[in-house]
Structure formats: structure tokens, C-alpha cells
Chains A and B, each alone.
Chain A
Amino acid sequence: QKEVEQDPGPLSVPEGAIVSLNCTYSNSAFQYFMWYRQYSRKGPELLMYTYSSGNKEDGRFTAQVDKSSKYISLFIRDSQPSDSATYLCAMRVVRGSTLGRLYFGRGTQLTVWP
């Protein structure tokens, strides 16, 4: 079993829809949670990060972390065709020699159609 699980989709929604992306994890040492966006033939780029539990909002994007359930989510409101990409969740520990290591989900491929 992978330490981070993510449904690969694909997910296809109409423009303006609310999108919900989710990951679960098994390692309770993870305390720093990230969402990366990867466009086709490009490297991942950091979209949002959250430290420990709670919510964080940035424009149309909201990240949620529920450490008790080992579950994180990314919500995209008013989705746009330009949001079409693969979304990867990632996690890390916050101390120790391996804190540089990111653990990724497999990514969810999202298509927003006009």
C-alpha cells in the first residue's frame, strides 16, 4: 500500500462547476500538506500548502486537512478551462533528515470543458 493514495480519475466537469479532489494517507508523521498542479508536458508547480490541520483559502481554491481521518482535499470553485491539468497531492514530515522528501499521490487528471 502506498503511503499516499489519490484517485487518478479522470475527472471531467463543465465550466463553473465545483471540483473536489481528495487524498488519503497512512503516515501520521506527515504534517505539511501540499497541492501541485501539472500541465501536460510540464513540471509540477506548487498551488497551495497547509501546515497541520485546518482550511486555507486562496482565491477560487480551498485546501482542507483532516488529520484525524488522514484525509486532505482541494476544492476549486467556479472552475475554468484553464484549470484543466493533473493535480497532485504531496506531503512531508517537518523534522528529521528526510524532511526534504515529498510523498506524492498519483495525481488526478481534471478536464474542465467550456
Chain B
Amino acid sequence: DSGVTQTPKHLITATGQRVTLRCSPRSGDLSVYWYQQSLDQGLQFLIQYYNGEERAKGNILERFSAQQFPDLHSELNLSSLELGDSALYFCASSVGGTQINEQFFGPGTRLTVL
């Protein structure tokens, strides 16, 4: 158990809908990262937050947004969902945001868009 929690474990929804994925980092970790894992693209970095501020952005679609709250938990919002958004979404956390720190991954949320 990495200490990173993600809810829900599974999510099934329809095209065009909006969902929110939630992540609680390990105690003491200030950085949160979001990744998407699909069969064709593998594990891809979406976005990083450090202590409430966006730190780095990757291959995140405009339909997706994220935020990190004062208690350091983070939410990833996915809107206007398409079939191709079906994937595993992982959250990871690390102690810092400006050094090379190990990222600890949560168990993931499996999103199925029908």
C-alpha cells in the first residue's frame, strides 16, 4: 500500500458526461501528479500540482482540468467524455516538487465510457 488513495475505483458513464476523480496524497507529500494509462498510449503524464499550484503540464486535453485543494487532495475533472477517454487514471504523490523525489502511485480509477 503506497499511502495514496483514489476514489472511486471504478466509474462507468456515457459519452458526453462529466466525472470527477479524487486523490488523497501520502501524508506529508506536497506534490500530486495525474497520469492516464491506456492500452494504445501506455502511461502518460497529464499534470502536476505542488502545494496548490500547477507546476507542470503534459498531454492533458482541454476537456480535462485538475486542481489541488488547501488540504492537498486533488481532483481531476473530465468533461464531454468520449469513448477514447476510457482508461486507468493514476494519481501519484511525492514529498517535493522541485527536487527529484520518488513518486508513489495510487491504485487507480478505471473509467469506462460507453
Contacts and interface: CB of A to CB of B under 8 A. Distances in A.
Do A and B pair up? The answer is yes
Interface of A: 2, 6, 32, 41-46, 49, 88, 92, 94, 97-107
B42 A44 contact: no
B48 A101 contact: yes
- Give the interface size class of chain B: 20 to 34
B42 A105 contact: yes
A94 B108 CA distance: 26
A42 B55 contact: no
B42 A106 contact: yes
Contacts of A49: 102
Nearest to B98: A99
Contacts of B105: 43-45
Contacts of B90: 43-44
Contacts of B104: 45
A101 B108 contact: no
